[in-house]
């Protein structure tokens, strides 16, 4: 006889085709009903509140008077909450976002008296191979997941899931989803007929006689009659014994069965039984880019700056920072960040991210102003603060915008030594927009607006250095730009022919990459969930559509700018007829700095056409059947051609397992002789084309007009979501993309990884003009002209420097980007150093090396 563990729950989408305002209204009555049922019948429960504490936050925003009632049911274990703040998508959002999700979710649970010790992920569109690591860092030993699993990964629905760093969690799959036993009849005889096919499917892959039966669905009311009905059904049949249970009780029973669990290592992207919607990695790319920019601004700039200023005696606005993270994570649910929503909801998602970025940038501006105010000047001129978030002394190039009435100026350090710079863009600026005092003037004050590339050196680790802008003084070096028709430095040469076809040569290995950075436009007959090529697609590349090319060589870097007017179809109807009745205006600027072994690429696209996808190609010519991409806190190996492509149609999978993959910001393919790597800003999707297995195609944008559609080549059958028009998802208008391209001459060695980290950027500049939109009183503190909180001699990549969540201490974190263990090292500082988990608790073991795909965190108390 099989033991069926009834787990009652709700799955709460905050937004989807409906808004968060809709869901809050429904939540008010849902919770009122749930309280009433649990209080009337003490035998009911526990009830799983979808594993996300934001549901509590939303509910109390509309029913604050019910907090005591809710708190009592949580303390009694009748309602179980957490461990997450929101049900995030784990393949699109960043590592620090996932960490904060658990950190803030746990904090909420502690306030309400209990945490569900289960990594419950019921509806993420695929599962990250890193989930076991994240859970173990928060002392969570179990996971319950849905989408992405099939027997092609692991034969049973219960197994030990192991991350690359060795972390393991006991995992149970809901093979048919969290809603497989929804809306059960009250009558035992009727319910038995309903349950027979459900339980046959639930037990098909079960390793033991213990089976999960999740009872609940999207925003669905508590089915409070089901437990009593199942108890009546128990004596009426001999195949199953139904028990009121929880996920924790199920895992206890699984362990008591004393079976050896199979071990699986890797991600879950298999759409055999459930769609994982691979198109969400590039849907609404404007939202993806905005989210990536906010994540990076918070963890790589704002939090490190606040940490440094806190050590100098300025306040750390912890609650304000937490609120920015919380608002961002409200946009991280699978539908929200996936962009598979109604247009109204996508607008709300975007607004939250924009609001967070506004708040973060204002905090940066105010803290830079306070920092500059306290520094005693060592030279004449306006102070320029060069801030280095990373825990190693840094040098390199960074961007700085200045406004000046002078034709001449120079930048010097504290000793008066001149720094080199290059103007990359210049224009005029109406200063009444910048300076509040000028806004009421009757005359317009015009200044030069110069976007500079500034060369700096010896910037202290986790700290800053002060430079000075001296206006009216001629710079003491040659700045004259000259025209060029190729890019070249000590490492690379990039040549272009009259058609605009680019060839990159790696001078270190003499390997060439022809037709690199080619643009390809194809149709997209899909929806917000899935890219789908038309049944008969017409691919158009950029060759032959070049309208202009220009090149300049400056003091610090050289640039080539190419412009195309690519004749393309206006929509799917025109593409079917192979009628190029529209134009894509695209400009690409490729820069090569004298000191860098990589290309920086900026692409602008005026998207005026519909139902299409635009990609940029990196032809590696590498002899390899695998490639690598980054994932949260690590690297993952993937097949160029998934083996499941050979069977998906015969086995009637829900979706084609095409080589359309997510990344955080990096993808690379290489062999012993050659290879290419792309490091992107906010581009989360790439593809290995089935007919060109040595090419990496990075998706720039895709335009579709429907939330859901039926019967697509890559996703046959019913529509996903709702069949609703979403014209805003055509994302018309101007779009801007950035990526860096690295040629790989020695594979993924230490020098390569250092260049990847440098290509991502690690320095920030701020000019103390004396102008400010908002006035503040002087703080009266004095700061040194240069300062470092700590330094850390490590090959790990930087993740964050911030104040600890619950104590007066600092947290610094790095992670191993490579496929090999790296030396951990120990930060050098005056404080007490404690190796810690992501949860900011003491780490029991203190190894000398950091495994692949693992973070290394230190808590430092001063």
pLDDT reported for residue 30: 98
Percent of the chain past pLDDT 90, that is, above it, reads 95
Q: What is the mean pLDDT of residues 410-432?
A: 94
**Of the residues 252, 274, 296, the one at which a domain ends:** 274
Q: What is the mean pLDDT of residues 516-536?
A: 96
What's the mean pLDDT when you consider all of the chain? 96
Q: What is the mean pLDDT of residues 356-379?
A: 97
Confidence of residue 774 (pLDDT cuts 50, 70, 90): confident
pLDDT reported for residue 480: 76
pLDDT reported for residue 477: 84
Half-sphere exposure of 513 (CA within 13 A, CB side): 32
Report the residue count for the chain.
Answer: 862
**Of the residues 274, 303, 335, the one at which a domain ends:** 274
What pairing do the DSSP bridges indicate for beta strands 502-506 and 822-823?
unpaired
pLDDT reported for residue 434: 78
The active-site residue out of 13, 108, 123, 335 is 123
Residue 63 lies in a domain: yes
pLDDT reported for residue 775: 82
Long-range CB contacts (< 8 A, 24+ apart) of 492-498? 492/592, 492/597, 492/598, 492/599, 492/743, 494/560, 494/590, 494/592, 494/599, 496/549, 496/560, 496/562, 498/546
pLDDT reported for residue 507: 98
Number of H helices, E strands in the chain: 15, 45
CA R_g for the chain: 28
Residue 624 lies in a domain: no
Using the predicted structure, report yes or no on whether residue 438 has a pLDDT greater than 80.
no
Residue 545 lies in a domain: no
pLDDT reported for residue 784: 97
**Of the residues 274, 308, 342, the one at which a domain ends:** 274
Using the predicted structure, report yes or no on whether residue 574 has a pLDDT greater than 90.
yes
Using the predicted structure, report yes or no on whether residue 846 has a pLDDT greater than 90.
no
Residue 757 lies in a domain: no
pLDDT reported for residue 845: 83
pLDDT reported for residue 663: 98
Using the predicted structure, report yes or no on whether residue 844 has a pLDDT greater than 90.
no
Instruction: Report which of 826, 819, 817 is spatially closest to residue 846, judged by C-alpha positions.
Output: 826
Q: Could you report the per-residue pLDDT of 684-742, keeping only the tens digit for each?
A: 999 999 999 999 999 999 999 999 999 998 999 999 999 999 999 999 999 999 999 99
3-state helix, strand and coil shares in percent for the chain, rounded to the nearest 5 = 25, 35, 45
CA distances from 827 to 259, 633, 838 (A): 44, 19, 17
Q: What is the mean pLDDT of residues 541-566?
A: 96
Residue 623 lies in a domain: no
CA distance 862 to 859: 10
Provide the residue range defining the domain that includes 849: 789-862
Q: Could you report the per-residue pLDDT of 500-522, keeping only the tens digit for each?
A: 999 999 999 999 999 999 999 99
Work out the number of other CB atoms within 10 angstroms of the CB of residue 606. Answer: 15
pLDDT reported for residue 444: 84
Using the predicted structure, report yes or no on whether residue 295 has a pLDDT greater than 80.
yes
CA distance 601 to 519: 13
Q: What is the mean pLDDT of residues 245-253?
A: 98
Using the predicted structure, report yes or no on whether residue 606 has a pLDDT greater than 90.
yes
Residue 9 lies in a domain: yes
749 included as an active-site residue: no
CA distance 516 to 674: 14
Q: What is the mean pLDDT of residues 838-842?
A: 97
pLDDT reported for residue 441: 73
The CATH number covering residue 843 comes to 2.60.40.2220
Confidence of residue 200 (pLDDT cuts 50, 70, 90): very high
What angle is formed at CA 257 by the lines to CA 251 and CA 259, rounded to 5 degrees?
100
The CATH number covering residue 116 comes to 3.20.110.10
The structural domain count of the chain equals 2
Residue 109 lies in a domain: yes
Residue 101 lies in a domain: yes
Q: Could you report the per-residue pLDDT of 440-497, keeping only the tens digit for each?
A: 777 888 999 999 999 999 999 999 999 999 999 999 887 777 899 999 999 999 999 9
pLDDT reported for residue 500: 92
């Amino acid at each position: 006889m099989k033991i069926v563990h009834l787990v009652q729950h709700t799955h709460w989408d905050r937004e989807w085709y409906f808004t968060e305002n809709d869901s809050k209204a429904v939540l008010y009555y849902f919770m009122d009903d749930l309280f009433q049922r649990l209080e009337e019948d003490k035998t009911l429960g526990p009830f799983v509140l979808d594993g996300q504490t934001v549901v509590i936050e939303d509910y109390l925003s509309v029913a604050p008077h019910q907090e005591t009632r809710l708190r009592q049911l949580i303390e009694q274990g009748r309602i179980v909450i957490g461990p997450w703040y929101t049900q995030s998508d784990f393949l699109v959002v960043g590592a620090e976002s996932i960490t904060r999700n658990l950190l803030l979710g746990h904090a909420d649970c502690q306030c309400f008296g209990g945490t569900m010790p289960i990594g419950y992920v019921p509806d993420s569109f695929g599962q990250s191979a890193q989930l076991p690591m994240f859970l173990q860092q928060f002392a969570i030993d179990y996971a319950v997941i849905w989408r992405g699993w099939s027997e092609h990964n692991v034969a049973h629905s219960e197994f030990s899931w192991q991350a690359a760093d060795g972390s393991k969690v006991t995992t149970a799959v809901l093979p048919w989803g969290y809603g497989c036993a929804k809306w059960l009849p009250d009558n035992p005889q009727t319910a038995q007929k309903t349950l027979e096919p459900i339980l046959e499917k639930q037990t098909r892959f079960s390793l033991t006689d213990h089976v999960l039966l999740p009872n609940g669905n999207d925003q669905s009311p508590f089915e409070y009659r089901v437990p009593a009905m199942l108890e009546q059904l128990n004596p009426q049949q001999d195949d199953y014994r139904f028990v009121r249970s929880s996920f924790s009780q199920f895992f206890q029973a699984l362990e008591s069965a004393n079976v050896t669990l199979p071990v699986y290592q890797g991600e879950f992207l298999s759409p055999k039984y459930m769609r994982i919607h691979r198109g969400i990695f590039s849907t609404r790319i404007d939202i993806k880019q905005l989210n990536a920019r906010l994540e990076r601004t918070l963890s790589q700039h704002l939090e490190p700056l606040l940490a440094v200023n806190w050590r100098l005696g300025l306040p750390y606005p912890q609650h304000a920072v937490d609120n920015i993270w919380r608002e961002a994570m409200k946009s991280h649910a699978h539908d929200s960040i996936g962009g598979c929503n109604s247009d109204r909801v996508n607008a709300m998602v975007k607004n939250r991210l924009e609001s967070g970025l506004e708040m973060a940038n204002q905090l940066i501006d105010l803290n830079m102003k306070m920092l500059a105010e306290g520094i005693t000047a060592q030279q004449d001129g306006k102070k320029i603060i060069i801030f280095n978030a990373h825990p190693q002394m840094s040098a390199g190039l960074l961007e700085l915008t200045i406004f000046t009435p002078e034709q001449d100026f120079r930048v010097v350090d504290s000793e008066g030594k001149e720094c080199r710079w290059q103007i990359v863009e210049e224009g005029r600026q109406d200063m009444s927009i910048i300076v509040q005092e000028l806004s009421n003037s009757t005359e317009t004050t015009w200044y030069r607006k110069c976007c500079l590339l500034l060369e700096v050196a010896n910037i202290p680790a986790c700290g800053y250095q002060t430079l000075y802008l001296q206006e009216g003084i001629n710079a003491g070096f040659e700045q004259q730009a000259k025209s060029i028709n190729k890019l070249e430095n000590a490492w690379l040469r990039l040549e272009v022919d009259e058609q605009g076809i680019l060839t990159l040569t790696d001078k270190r290995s003499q390997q060439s990459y022809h037709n690199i950075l080619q643009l390809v436009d194809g149709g997209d007959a899909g929806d917000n969930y899935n890219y789908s090529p038309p049944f008969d697609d017409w691919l158009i590349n950029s060759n032959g559509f070049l309208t202009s090319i220009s090149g300049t060589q400056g003091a610090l870097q050289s640039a080539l700018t190419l412009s195309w007017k690519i004749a393309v179809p206006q929509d799917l109807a025109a593409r079917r007829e192979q009628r190029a009745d529209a134009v894509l205006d695209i400009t690409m600027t490729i820069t090569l700095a004298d000191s860098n072994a990589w290309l920086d690429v900026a692409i602008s696209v005026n998207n005026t056409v519909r139902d299409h996808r635009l990609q940029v190609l990196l032809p590696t010519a590498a002899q390899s059947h695998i490639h690598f991409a980054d994932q949260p806190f690590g690297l993952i190996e993937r097949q160029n051609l998934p083996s499941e492509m050979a069977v998906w149609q015969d086995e009637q999978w829900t979706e084609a397992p095409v080589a359309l993959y997510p990344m955080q910001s990096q993808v690379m393919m290489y062999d012993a002789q050659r290879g290419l790597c792309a490091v992107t800003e906010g581009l989360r999707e790439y593809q290995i084309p089935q007919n060109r297995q040595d090419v990496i195609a990075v998706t720039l944008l895709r335009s579709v007009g429907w939330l859901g559609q039926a019967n697509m080549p890559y996703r046959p059958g019913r529509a996903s979501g709702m069949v609703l028009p979403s014209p805003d998802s055509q994302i018309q208008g101007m779009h801007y993309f950035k990526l860096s391209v690295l040629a790989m001459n020695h594979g993924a060695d230490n020098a390569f990884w250092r260049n990847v980290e440098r290509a991502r950027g690690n320095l920030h500049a701020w000019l103390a003009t004396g102008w400010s939109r908002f006035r503040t009183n002087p703080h009266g503190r004095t700061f040194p002209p240069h300062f470092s909180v700590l330094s850390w001699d490590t090959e790990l990549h930087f993740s964050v420097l911030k104040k600890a969540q619950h104590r007066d201490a600092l947290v610094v974190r790095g992670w191993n980007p490579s496929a090999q263990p790296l030396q951990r090292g120990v930060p050098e500082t005056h404080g007490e150093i404690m190796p810690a988990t992501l949860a900011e608790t003491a780490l029991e073991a203190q190894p000398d090396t950091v495994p692949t795909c693992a973070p290394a965190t230190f808590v430092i108390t001063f």
